[in-house]
């Protein structure tokens, strides 16, 4: 089994050349821009690692990996527009640099090119790959809509938020794991365990993302710290704070949610710290990591072959950016 770093270097070598035509430049330069401003390529590498868990990496896995990375960046462009986010990976977002109309079109064309890559794979599992990819793409859109809907209501319970972030964030990583396993010839039972592994890692990843948005170092995080607070997103942190806060703290939180005071982020973070939501989020993240590891353990493959996937999971959840 190759390490994440080794596969990342191999994928980047193949993916770093320009992925789009030169003309019309205003369209394709914007699409190429987001691919060139960094990112760890976690999702496409997950496809390759999942494939290699069961068989040598196939060329079809590379096509699927490219499709996944294009889809992921398509979703980021559109998410940034909807969230009015000024920064992505420490750089201006696509709509900030190129304008909203061009950003929308560049995201759309990335989705089209993603499907073009999928259409290159072996017909023996093309239908299954298309079905899972399309189901996942639809679920990601559903999750994004729920995320926006939740910004407009006063409270969201834990289960509703968990459903939303499962759709918005974790199903894509879950699909990466199952798609790689499928191409590697894994049994349906092993594919399902791979999906569960990716899904729970994805949930833990979102818990970490919520934490970093509130408490992260802006120089390392690469996004506007406190952006979720400003946008009134119902994160794990806010939901837990409202559950454990005293009456005075709850009143203050609801007041802050309904206002855009200059010191809103600072005041909300003070309440979060008083409610120890930072410590709670670490415990919750560890719970989902252990669920993921249980699924990985259940896969019918030699334990030694799973080591690199275990390392990947811990790398994702120990990150500061």
Domain boundaries, the chain: 4-317
pLDDT of residue 27: 96
Helix (H/G/I), strand (E/B), else coil: 15: helix
Non-local (6+) Cβ contacts of 266 within 8 A are none
Non-local (6+) Cβ contacts of 69 within 8 A are 15, 35, 41, 43, 44
pLDDT of residue 43: 96
In Å, how far are 56, 129, 155, 158, 233 from 247, measured between CA atoms?
58, 50, 15, 19, 21
Asked whether 217 and 185 are in contact (CB, 8 A), the reply is no
pLDDT of residue 258: 80
pLDDT of residue 220: 63
The domain 4-317: what is its CATH number?
1.10.600.10
Residue 178 C-alpha from the chain's centroid:
16
Residue 75 C-alpha from the chain's centroid:
10
Within 10 angstroms of residue 136's Cβ, the number of other Cβ atoms is 21
pLDDT of residue 104: 97
pLDDT of residue 188: 97
Strand blocks (E) in the chain = 87-88, 91-92
Question: Phi first, then psi: what are they for 264, rounded to 5°?
Answer: -55, -50
Question: Phi first, then psi: what are they for 91, rounded to 5°?
Answer: -125, 160
pLDDT of residue 272: 96
Handedness of CA 285, 299, 136, 308 (dihedral sign): positive
DSSP letter for each residue of 41-110: -HHHHHHHHHHHHHSSPPHHHHHHHHHHHHHHHHHHHHHHHHHT--EETTEE-HHHHH-HHHHHHHHHHH
Output b/e per residue, 276-304; b: 16+ Cβ within 10 A.
Answer: ebeebbeebbeebbebbbebbeebebeee
CA distance 213 to 154: 20
CA distance 113 to 108: 9
pLDDT of residue 315: 87
pLDDT of residue 172: 98
pLDDT of residue 218: 66
Tell me the pTM: 0.91
pLDDT in tens, the chain (321 residues): 899 999 999 999 999 899 999 999 999 999 999 999 878 899 999 999 999 999 999 999 999 999 999 999 999 999 999 988 898 888 999 999 999 999 999 999 999 999 999 999 999 999 999 999 999 999 999 999 998 898 888 788 999 999 999 999 999 999 999 999 999 999 999 999 999 999 999 999 999 989 999 988 766 655 667 888 988 888 999 999 999 999 999 999 989 988 888 899 999 999 999 999 999 999 999 999 999 999 999 999 999 999 999 999 998 888 665
Question: Phi first, then psi: what are they for 87, rounded to 5°?
Answer: -130, 140
Helix (H) or strand (E) run with residue 302 in it: none
């Amino acid at each position: 089994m190759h390490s994440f770093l080794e596969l990342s270097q191999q994928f980047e070598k193949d993916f770093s050349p320009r992925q789009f035509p030169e003309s019309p430049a205003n369209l394709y330069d914007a699409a190429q821009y987001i691919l060139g401003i960094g990112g760890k390529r976690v999702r496409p590498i997950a496809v390759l690692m999942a494939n290699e868990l069961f068989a040598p990496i196939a060329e079809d896995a590379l096509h699927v990996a490219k499709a996944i990375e294009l889809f992921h960046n398509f979703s980021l462009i559109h998410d940034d527009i909807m969230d009015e986010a000024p920064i992505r990976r420490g750089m201006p977002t696509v709509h900030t640099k190129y304008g909203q109309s061009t950003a929308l079109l560049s995201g759309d064309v990335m989705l089209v090119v993603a499907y073009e890559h999928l259409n290159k794979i072996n017909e023996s599992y093309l239908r299954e790959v298309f079905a899972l990819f399309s189901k996942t793409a639809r679920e990601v859109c559903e999750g994004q809509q729920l995320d926006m809907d939740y910004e407009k209501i006063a409270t969201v319970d834990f289960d509703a938020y968990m459903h939303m972030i499962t759709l918005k964030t974790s199903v894509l990583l879950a699909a990466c794991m199952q798609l790689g396993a499928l191409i590697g010839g894994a049994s349906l039972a092993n594919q399902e365990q791979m999906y569960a592994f990716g899904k729970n890692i994805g949930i833990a990843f979102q818990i970490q993302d919520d934490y970093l948005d509130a408490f992260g170092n802006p120089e390392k995080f690469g996004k506007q710290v406190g952006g979720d607070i400003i946008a009134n997103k119902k994160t794990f942190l806010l939901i837990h704070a409202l559950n454990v806060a005293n009456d005075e703290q709850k009143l203050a939180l609801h007041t802050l949610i309904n206002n855009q005071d200059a010191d809103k982020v600072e005041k909300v973070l003070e309440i979060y710290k008083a409610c120890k939501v930072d410590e709670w989020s670490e415990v919750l993240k560890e719970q989902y990591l252990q669920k993921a590891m249980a699924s990985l353990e259940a896969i019918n493959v030699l334990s030694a072959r799973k080591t690199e996937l275990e390392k990947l999971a811990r790398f994702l959840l120990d990150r500061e950016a």
